[in-house]
Structure 1
Amino acid sequence: MTLRTGLMAVTLMICAGSFGGCINSSGGLENRAVWSESATPAAFDGAASNSGQIARAVDTYTAAATPGNAGYKVGPQDVLDVSVFQVPELTRSVQVSDIGTVNLPLVGEVAAAGKTSREIERDLASKLGAKYVRSPQVTVFVKEYNSQRVTVEGAVKKPGVYPVRGKNSLTQFIAIAEGIDHDTASSTVVVFRSNEGKRYAAKFDIKEIMAGRADDPPIQQDDIIVVDSSTSKEVFSYLVKALPAVAVFSLLQ
């Protein structure tokens, strides 16, 4: 069994687990947006009245951890652009080491992993201001998000694990995987996502997205993108049919 096959099998085993109250009397998921921690039948009954709350939760969930926001935590192998106003010799791109540090002139080794760019700015300004530069104005941007990765599987030409570089959408990651294998691919793509120990999934119609009739969803770190194909295993085909027809992440139990 290859690493890719093993990953696919694990993903399908997780997703094939009980959907709990998400399954209706006909054996499929209720065909509407569902965002519930318990995913009980009662939650479905109240879905219409809670539609605003559900929409806000979905918006928050899909945007909160998107790379590039102010809360992003730097990790090993990320590349940072560091600039110090009016001190060009200190302006450069540096890569975070495997132990989570960057090495810069004058200040030497500085811890970076686990910190936001703003926190690194403050640390550098403090070190430079203590001995070398009067009131330094330091700016730090994350140039490459190499510590964060996304998996692309299924009917694409080059399945694999790819680094997150800035803000990327679903179609951009499919392009990074060298596009859809048109000989086997269907128009359905499923995105698996984890949050606080829970796993969610949403399906999207890639043809509708490429035609501009549907939004191109943002992809975040650790997402697993699976392009459905005519050769998909039965358990995955069941999951695709069971997920709501709309592009909403639903809780898998």
Structure 2
Amino acid sequence: MLRAVFTRNLWRALGAVAITAAVAALLSGCNDSSPSAVSGAPSRPINAEGGKLDDLARASAPYIAQSTPGSTGYKVGPLDVLEISVFKVPELTQSVQVADNGLINLPLVGDLQASGKTPSALEAELRRKLDGTYIKNPSVRVFVKEYNSSRVTVDGEVKHPGVYALKGTPTLLAAISLAGGLDKETASTEVTIFRANPDGTRSGARVDLAAIRSGAVVDPTVEAGDVIVIEGSSTKTAYNTIMKILPFTALGSLAFVAI
């Protein structure tokens, strides 16, 4: 599987002509001339006109996977910190970090596979292990205290491009802040976010930071695995070309075109 690797030098090196050619090649290779023929793709393209950009929350709504930090469907991963409480059993009420191999270790229970399970699934498993053996009808609660397994890539015109761990329920502005904020000398206010879809494809959406800061658009929540690219003066023309040609899901496919 091709992997999208975003670096500042790469984005600066890409010109509108080269990207437009890649777009044309991508579209000519489709069996259906309509870009919305992509499986699961909405027919409505992203509005790329200045001041009328769709905010990410609406644009990506059909693709939000149940793995967002803070959601009930979030699956625990290595290095996450769990807060576990068992009513009237203080030795089992504690914070525990998931090991690299996905296990946690608890008194009376021993090693337990936590990675890949939702907090509610862990609650049910702990109840089964404790019920009848140590405690009758135990009351168990599990929630994620730190989302250390969830990471997002922030690249483009920021001070410190890189991969950062998400904490709590992170927003776009918070993710950019983790990367040291915008490079004020080169950054624009336009951001493109690439996201993996449940079916294995990728999608993209744009959002205007100025609109977020003014309160016109809600600061969107970012998800684990998102790639956030902050545009600069050298990439703006190329991005505008892409957004005018490709709808939502086809834009994501472009991220995997070898250039």
What TM-score does the superposition give when structure 1 sets the normalisation length?
0.75
The equivalent residue for 1:106 is 108
The equivalent residue for 2:38 is 37
Task: Pick from 224, 228, 235 the counterpart of residue 227 of structure 2.
Answer: 224
Please state whether the residue corresponding to 1:147 is helix, strand or coil.
coil
Gaps of 5+ in 1: 22-33, 46-54
**Structure 1 residues 138 and 109, CA gap change in structure 2 (3 angstroms):** same
The equivalent residue for 1:210 is 213
The equivalent residue for 2:151 is 149
The Cα shift of 1:131 comes to: 1.8
Q: What CA distance in whole angstroms lies between the structure 2 residues aligned with 1:66 and 1:125? A: 25
Q: Higher strand fraction: Structure 1 or Structure 2?
A: 1
The equivalent residue for 1:74 is 76
Q: What CA distance in whole angstroms lies between the structure 2 residues aligned with 1:223 and 1:14? A: 21
The Cα shift of 1:199 comes to: 1.6
**Structure 1 residues 44 and 171, CA gap change in structure 2 (3 angstroms):** closer
The equivalent residue for 2:238 is 238
Higher alpha-carbon deviation: 219-228 or 80-89: 80-89
Please state whether the residue corresponding to 1:131 is helix, strand or coil.
coil
The equivalent residue for 1:171 is 173
8 Å CA contact 2:159–2:182 kept in 1: the answer is yes
Per-residue deviation, residues 22-61 of structure 1 (Å, max 9, x unmatched): xxxxxxxxxxxx9652699xx579xxxxxxxxx9884242
The equivalent residue for 1:191 is 193
**Structure 1 residues 6 and 98, CA gap change in structure 2 (3 angstroms):** farther
The equivalent residue for 1:200 is 203
Gaps of 5+ in 2: 29-34, 46-56, 254-259
Kindly provide the amino acid, as one letter, of the partner of residue 213 in structure 1: A
8 Å CA contact 2:8–2:155 kept in 1: the answer is no
The equivalent residue for 2:48 is none
The Cα shift of 1:197 comes to: 2.0
Per-residue deviation, residues 229-250 of structure 1 (Å, max 9, x unmatched): 1244xxx7413443159xx944
Question: Between the two proteins, what is the percent identity of the paired residues?
Answer: 45
Please state whether the residue corresponding to 1:168 is helix, strand or coil.
coil
Please state whether the residue corresponding to 2:71 is helix, strand or coil.
coil
The Cα shift of 1:8 comes to: 5.4
Q: What CA distance in whole angstroms lies between the structure 1 residues aligned with 2:123 and 2:10? A: 40
**Structure 1 residues 130 and 14, CA gap change in structure 2 (3 angstroms):** farther
Map 1:15-164 onto structure 2 (within 5 A).
16-17=22-23, 18=25, 20=27, 37=38, 58-62=60-64, 64-164=66-166
Q: What CA distance in whole angstroms lies between the structure 1 residues aligned with 2:36 and 2:169? A: 24
8 Å CA contact 1:152–1:226 kept in 2: the answer is yes
Please state whether the residue corresponding to 1:219 is helix, strand or coil.
coil
The Cα shift of 1:166 comes to: 2.4
**Structure 1 residues 229 and 37, CA gap change in structure 2 (3 angstroms):** same
The number of residue pairs the alignment matches comes to 222
The equivalent residue for 1:30 is none
Q: What CA distance in whole angstroms lies between the structure 1 residues aligned with 2:150 and 2:175? A: 13
Q: What CA distance in whole angstroms lies between the structure 1 residues aligned with 2:88 and 2:104? A: 21
> Which structure would you say has the larger RCO, counting Cα contacts within 8 Å and 6 or more residues apart?
2
**Structure 1 residues 4 and 90, CA gap change in structure 2 (3 angstroms):** same
Please state whether the residue corresponding to 2:129 is helix, strand or coil.
helix
8 Å CA contact 1:37–1:251 kept in 2: the answer is yes
**Structure 1 residues 6 and 218, CA gap change in structure 2 (3 angstroms):** same
Q: What CA distance in whole angstroms lies between the structure 1 residues aligned with 2:216 and 2:8? A: 35
Q: What CA distance in whole angstroms lies between the structure 2 residues aligned with 1:186 and 1:57? A: 21
The equivalent residue for 2:51 is none
**Structure 1 residues 73 and 7, CA gap change in structure 2 (3 angstroms):** farther
Q: What CA distance in whole angstroms lies between the structure 1 residues aligned with 2:10 and 2:37? A: 26
